[in-house]
Structure 1
Amino acid sequence: MTARNGAPPRVWPWRVLRVAAVLVLLDTLAQAALAGLFVTGDLDLLTWHAANAGVLSALTVVQTAAALTVRRLARGPLWPVVASAALVALVSVQQGLGEARILAGHMPLGMAVFGCATALTYWAFTRRAGTAPRPVRLSHAATE
């Protein structure tokens, strides 16, 4: 497997992205668990939930940097960079809604954050480093 210029593909950016994506996904799951345990009556877990929101925020920034590194050094696609940056924004909005105690927005947005984190993690592990998607070629009959 070689990159377009004949050099071997850089694999380490993909590994960094995969680690970052797994950490974001696991921390998002931890956030949900902390919220669920708080709702069952353990009021101390709200403090942990709020503190972990900062960790999640930092991890999404790391994931965005990793996606950008894959884009720049391993010639990965642009959309994971955009999706990761959108996830940074979603987590930021999520934190604001949580601090304002607007649960009608906070809880559904948490589900969206988890869905985005899951999709990015899935993609990071199913996309092989050094491969580009094949271009779609239309037959001559299809272009007439």
Structure 2
Amino acid sequence: MLALFDTLLQAALAGLFITGDVGLLDWHAANASVLALLVALEAIAAFLVWRPGRGPIGPFLLAVGLLVLVGVQQAPGESRVLAGHVPLGMAIFGIGAALTYRSFSYAYEEGSK
């Protein structure tokens, strides 16, 4: 869930930069590293739920896909290629939202058994 909130922060920083606050571009770039760390931790947690915890593999695959997208996202961002950077950001937010939803629905399903 922290990764999803940080993704939303990234979008807010980008939006504020685009509207004219150029100082926030440095914050956006620095926060990209924070997001990568949070997504990596999320992938590790999803792996632990899947393998030792005998949970579903789906969240782990989503988390790994998200980690790859976050890594790929940085190249067009640093090159200022917004035509690729913005759609990738939207995909990252969508996958992050799906992963967050799935993690909470799985916890609920397990608790009701």
On whether the aligned pair clears a TM of 0.5, the verdict is: yes
Q: Are 1:74 and 1:130, in contact at CA under 8 Å, matched by a contact in 2?
A: no
Aligned mate of 2:41, from 62, 81, 87: 62
1:104 and 1:84 map into 2 onto residues whose CA distance is 24
Higher Rg of the two aligned structures: 1
Task: Give the TM-score normalised by the residue count of structure 1.
Answer: 0.73
The secondary structure found in structure 2 opposite 1:127 is: helix
Q: Which has the higher helix share?
A: 2
User: Percent same amino acid at aligned positions?
Assistant: 55
Which residue of structure 2 aligns with residue 51 of structure 1?
30
The secondary structure found in structure 2 opposite 1:76 is: coil
Aligned mate of 2:77, from 98, 101, 109: 98
Aligned length: 110
The secondary structure found in structure 1 opposite 2:51 is: helix
Do residues 126 (structure 1) and 105 (structure 2) align? yes
Do residues 23 (structure 1) and 2 (structure 2) align? yes
Which residue of structure 2 aligns with residue 7 of structure 1?
none
Displacement, 1:129? 6.6
Aligned mate of 2:59, from 39, 55, 80: 80
Q: Are 1:38 and 1:46, in contact at CA under 8 Å, matched by a contact in 2?
A: yes
2:107 and 2:20 map into 1 onto residues whose CA distance is 45
Question: Which of 1 and 2 has higher RCO (CA within 8 Å, sep 6+)?
Answer: 1
The secondary structure found in structure 1 opposite 2:107 is: coil
Runs of 4+ in 1 over 6 A off after TM superposition: none
- Stretches of structure 2 that go unaligned for 5 or more consecutive residues are none
Displacement, 1:74? 2.0
Aligned mate of 1:111, from 79, 90, 105: 90
Which residue of structure 1 aligns with residue 21 of structure 2?
42
Letter in 2 for 1:57: A
Q: CA RMSD in A?
A: 1.2
**Deviation readout 1:42-86 (Å, 9 max, x if unpaired):** 111000000000000111100000000111232111121111111
